[in-house]
């Protein structure tokens, strides 16, 4: 009797498994025929289980597609995280738009530069109170409950990714608590990622039809970002520092 119950259950699960395989297969086919860059992989983690190193979330930015005068990603980031959007030397910027100019040819490149979510991050190395940490799924965060505001991580970061909050803040977002006396940086929209969504900057870039940014799991060889990286390659900024960043760029020449 028990066996027959098992049978039906197993049959059902087997069918679901087959359905799953078909979906995955069709997804791969879709990728081969259509634009690979529209495939942003999102988190499918069970919300009750902790994050793990099964995933490593990363970004891929195609500088050839990035609009020179476009700031959609920066604006979306400011809205999402409740930033004022000022660009002074002491103001918080999660994303900076950087323009690179080749002096010999005059060729200009524009790219968004944010926390590169390094695997072996200097900010984590230097933090005296373990407030800087890399979450198991590769997202670099600051635990502001622990941060004492020494700003050592800001000095250690080669990408100028972190900012310090100098003044008392009001009207913060529930999704991004931030306050006076602590250091902050791009958190790859961690609450959105946990909710199975893509970061706000990537969404805004796609909505603006640039499609220069791509979000996905670097550990999953079948994710859009991994396939694209395997196919066309990508560069890490200051790869010589061997930090193994989670953010990759295309269209950068040495």
Partner 1 sequence: MKRLLLLIYVLTGLLLVSSSTLAQTPTPTINLPKAKNLKCAIPGPLANQRRNHMKYLLHQRDKTMHEGIRNEPVSLAKCINCHVKPDAQGKLPKIASKQHFCHGCHEYAAVQIDCFECHADRPQKYIKRKQALSLKQMLQQHLASNDIKTPDIIKTGDIIKTPVSKNQQGVNQ
Footprint of partner 1 (CB under 8 A): 2-3, 6-7, 10, 13-14, 16-17, 19-20, 23-24, 44-51, 133, 135-137, 141, 143-145, 168-175, 177-182, 190-192, 194-197
Phi-psi region of 46 (alpha: psi -120 to 50; beta: other; left: phi over 0): beta
Q: Is 145 exposed, middle or buried (0-12, 13-18, 19+ CB in 10 A)?
A: exposed
Q: Which is nearer to partner 1, 12 or 38 (CB)?
A: 12
DSSP string, 108-123: EEEEEE-----SS-HH
Q: Which is nearer to partner 1, 168 or 240 (CB)?
A: 168
| CB of residue 50 to partner 1, shortest distance in Å | 4
Place of tokens 């395989």: 21
| CB of residue 148 to partner 1, shortest distance in Å | 13
| CB of residue 135 to partner 1, shortest distance in Å | 7
| CB of residue 165 to partner 1, shortest distance in Å | 9
d(CA 153, CA 146): 14
Q: Which is nearer to partner 1, 50 or 88 (CB)?
A: 50
Q: Which is nearer to partner 1, 100 or 180 (CB)?
A: 180
| CB of residue 19 to partner 1, shortest distance in Å | 7
Residue 61 contacts residue 247 (beta carbons within 8 Å): yes
d(CA 127, CA 71): 32
Nearest to 218 by CA among 60, 65, 62: 60
Start-to-end C-alpha separation, the chain = 69
| CB of residue 167 to partner 1, shortest distance in Å | 11
Q: Which is nearer to partner 1, 62 or 137 (CB)?
A: 137
Burial track 57-71 (b if 16+ CB lie within 10 A, e otherwise): bbbbbbbebbeeebb
Residue 137 contacts residue 52 (beta carbons within 8 Å): yes
Q: Which is nearer to partner 1, 154 or 169 (CB)?
A: 169
Place of tokens 């323009």: 99
Q: Which is nearer to partner 1, 126 or 133 (CB)?
A: 133
Element (H, E) at 250: strand 247-250
| CB of residue 226 to partner 1, shortest distance in Å | 15
């Amino acid at each position: 009797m028990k066996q027959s119950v098992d049978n039906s259950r197993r049959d059902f699960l087997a069918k679901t498994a087959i359905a799953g395989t078909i979906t995955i297969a069709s997804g791969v086919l879709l990728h081969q025929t259509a634009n690979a860059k529209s495939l942003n992989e999102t988190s499918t983690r069970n919300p009750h289980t902790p994050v793990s190193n099964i995933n490593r979330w990363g970004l891929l930015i195609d500088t050839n597609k990035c609009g020179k005068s476009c700031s959609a990603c920066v604006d979306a980031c400011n809205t999402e995280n409740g930033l004022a959007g000022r660009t002074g030397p002491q103001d918080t910027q999660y994303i900076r738009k950087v323009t690179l100019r080749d002096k010999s040819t005059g060729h200009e490149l524009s790219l968004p530069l944010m926390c590169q979510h390094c695997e072996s991050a200097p900010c984590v190395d230097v933090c005296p109170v373990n407030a800087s940490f890399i979450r198991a799924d590769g997202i670099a965060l600051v635990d502001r409950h622990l941060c004492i505001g020494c700003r050592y991580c800001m000095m250690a970061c080669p990408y100028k990714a972190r900012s310090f909050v100098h003044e008392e803040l009001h009207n913060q977002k529930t999704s991004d608590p931030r306050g006076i006396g602590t250091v902050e940086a791009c958190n790859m929209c961690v609450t959105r990622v946990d909710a199975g969504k893509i970061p706000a900057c990537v969404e805004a870039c796609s909505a603006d039809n640039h499609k220069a940014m791509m979000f996905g799991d670097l550990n999953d060889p079948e994710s859009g970002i991994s396939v694209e990286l395997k196919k066309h390659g990508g560069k890490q900024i200051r790869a010589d520092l061997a930090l193994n960043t989670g953010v990759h760029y295309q269209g950068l020449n040495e």
